[in-house]
Amino acid sequence: MRVYLVNPSDLAFGVGVITPRWLYVLAGATPREYGDPVVIDETLEQIDLSAVAPGDVVGIGIHTGNALRGYTVGTLARARGAFVVFGGIHATIFPNEALELGGAHAVVKGDGDVIWRRVLADCAAGRVQPLYEAGWTEAREFVPARWDLMPRDRYMWASVQTVRGCPKHCSFCSVWKTDGQRPRQRPVDAVMKEIVELRRAGFRVVALADDNFYSVSKTDIEHAARRADRRRFDELTAMRAERFELMARMAELPADTIFFTQITMEAAEDPAFLDAMRTARIRGALVGVEAVTPEGLKDVYKSFNASGEGLVRQMRLFTDHGVHVLGSFIFGLPSDRPATFDVTAAIAEQTGMTFAQFVPITPFPGTVDFARWEESMGPDPARVAGIPLTRHWLMPRTQRVKIHWPHPVMSADEITRRTQAVWDRFYSLGRIWKRASCVKSIRSKLAFVLISKLYRQMYANTGLVTDSARTSRSVRWARLIAKPCVRLFAARPMPDLEVPAGSARAA
C-alpha cells in the first residue's frame, strides 16, 4: 500500500513560494511501515495518476479555492482503485461534498496529525470509515514535518508552525472556527528542531505559518489582571514568556536565517514584543489591515484595528522595529465607496509597508459572512453553469464569479476594475524601486523587484481575472521569474548546525 499526499492546484508554477506545510506534516504522521509517502504539490506540477494502484491511499487536502481540482483528483484516483481520503479546512466544513463529488471513501474533520495513522490502518484493514472526527490536536502532539522528503530546489521559503488558533473573530475569516479561538502554542524545543533541520538543508528563509503569531496580547493580560482572574493571568503570562523564549532562541541561529509571519496589528502596542521580533530576525509580517476607515473595520468585526492616521502610526512602528509589513486589504465592503480605493492606495503608501495585497471580499465557507450571505440568497439562489452561487467554488474556473456580495453603490465589475487599478498603482515599477530602498545591496534590490513582480503575477492577475488567456500569461511569467527567485533565497547547507541551547531568556 503506497501513500500519496496531494495538494491540488489548477495552476502549476514549476516552483513554489512557501512550502505547503501540511503535506510534509502528514508525511511525518505516516508510519514508516508504509514506506515514504509520495508527496505531490500541484502548484509545482500536476499529479500523474498512472502510478496509483488499487489499494493505495490518496490523501487530498483542500481549502475552498482548490476544492474543485481536489474533487477531480479524488474521482480519478478512486477510479484507479485507490482509497481516497480528504482533509483540510474545506473538507472539515463540507464533508459530504467530498464524499459526493470527490470520490472520497473518507473525510477527516479537523487536524490530521494524530488521526492519520488510524485512517491508514483502517484502509490497510479494509474497514475505512466515511467520517473521522479528529477535532483539535493539542500543541504537544503536533507532528514535525518530514523535511527530508522536500525537494530543496523547488521552494523559496520553508514553513514552520509555532501556534494554531486565533482569539479574534473576524467576519471574513474561518480560522477562529476551524482552528479554534484558544491558541495552541507549540513547545519551543519542537519548533527549534524543525527550524534547524531546515537551515541544515540550506533554507535560510522560513515562514512561521501561524494563524496569529501575537497569540497573547498585552491587552488580554491587562484585562485578566483587572478582573483579578489569577488563573487566566498566569496562563497568559506563561504563554507570553514562551513566545519570548522562542524568539530569544531564534536569535541564536546563524545570522543569515530570517523569518516571516502573520500577526495582528495589536502587536504595535507592544514595543518589547516588536524588539524581540527584530532580535529573532522576524523580518516581515502579514498584517490584516482590511479597511482604512472605522466603518470598514466595523463591517468585518475588526474594530481592534486602527484606522486613518492611527493606522499609519501603528504600521510605521513595525517598520521602525525592522519588521516589514505585507498589508492585506479587503475591497467591496458595504461601507466602501469609489473614493475608498484611492484613499486606501494612498494610506498603504504612507504606512511604508513593503508589500500589499488587495482582495475583493468573498464569503468563504466557515465564516460569519458566508452564513449571512447564504441566508440572504434564499432557498433557490441564482446559478452559473448550473451551480448555485452559494457553491461558487464548484463552478468551472473560467466561469467562476469573483464578487458575490451585492454592493449598495458599486457593481461587481466596478469593484474588480478599481481593485486592479490599486494593484497596478502599488506595484508600478517606480513605486517598487522606491520601496526597494529598504534593502542595501544590488542583489537584494534585484530580489525585491523580482519578488514584488512575482507576487503581483501570482496573486493579483491569477486571482482577479477569469479570462484564461490572461491567466496563462500570468502563469508563464510567474514560472519565468520564480526560478531565479529560488536561487536568490537559497543558502549554503549547514549539515552540522546544532539546535541552539537557549541560554538567553527574555521578559
Q: What is the DSSP string of 326-393?
A: EEEEEE--TT--HHHHHHHHHHHHHTT-SEEEEEE----TTSHHHHHHHHHT-SS--EETTEEGGGGG
Dig out the grid coordinates for 229 from the structure. 482572574
Q: According to CB under 6 A, which one of 108, 123, 170, 236 is a site residue for ligand SF4?
A: 170
Q: Does 478 bind ligand SF4 (CB under 6 A)?
A: no
Closer residue to ligand SF4, CB minimum distance, 211 or 369: 211
Q: According to CB under 6 A, which one of 288, 296, 332, 360 is a site residue for ligand SF4?
A: 288
Closer residue to ligand SF4, CB minimum distance, 288 or 296: 288
Of 179, 209, 210, which is closest to residue 93 (Cα–Cα)? 179
For the bound state, the minimum distance from the C-beta of residue 266 to ligand SF4, rounded and expressed in Å, comes to: 9
User: What is the layout of strands, in order, in the sheet containing 205-208?
Assistant: 16-18, 155-160, 205-208, 258-263, 282-290, 324-331, 355-360
Q: What is the DSSP string of 18-68?
A: E--HHHHHHHHHS-GGG-SPEEEETTTS---GGG--TT-EEEEE--GGGHH
Q: How many residues make contact with ligand SF4 (CB under 6 A)?
A: 11
Dig out the grid coordinates for 20 from the structure. 505547503
Confirm if 249 and 257 have CB atoms less than 8 A apart. no
Query: Rule CB under 6 A: which of 248-287 touch ligand SF4?
Result: 264
The span from the CA of 272 to the CA of 278, in Å, is 10
Helix axes 230-250, 218-226, angle to 10 degrees: 160
Q: Does 365 bind ligand SF4 (CB under 6 A)?
A: no
- Which part of the chain contacts ligand SF4 (CB under 6 A), choosing from 131-139, 166-174, 372-380, 422-430? 166-174
Q: Does 168 bind ligand SF4 (CB under 6 A)?
A: yes
Q: Does 422 bind ligand SF4 (CB under 6 A)?
A: no
Dig out the grid coordinates for 77 from the structure. 484516483
Q: Does 173 bind ligand SF4 (CB under 6 A)?
A: yes
Q: Does 175 bind ligand SF4 (CB under 6 A)?
A: yes
Q: According to CB under 6 A, which one of 30, 64, 159, 212 is a site residue for ligand SF4?
A: 212
Q: Does 432 bind ligand SF4 (CB under 6 A)?
A: no
Q: According to CB under 6 A, which one of 73, 166, 297, 348 is a site residue for ligand SF4?
A: 166
Query: Rule CB under 6 A: which of 192-211 touch ligand SF4?
Result: 211
- Which part of the chain contacts ligand SF4 (CB under 6 A), choosing from 173-181, 384-392, 427-435, 455-463? 173-181
Residue 78: how many CB atoms within 10 A of its CB? 17
Residues that bind ligand SF4 (CB under 6 A): 166, 168-170, 173, 175-176, 211-212, 264, 288
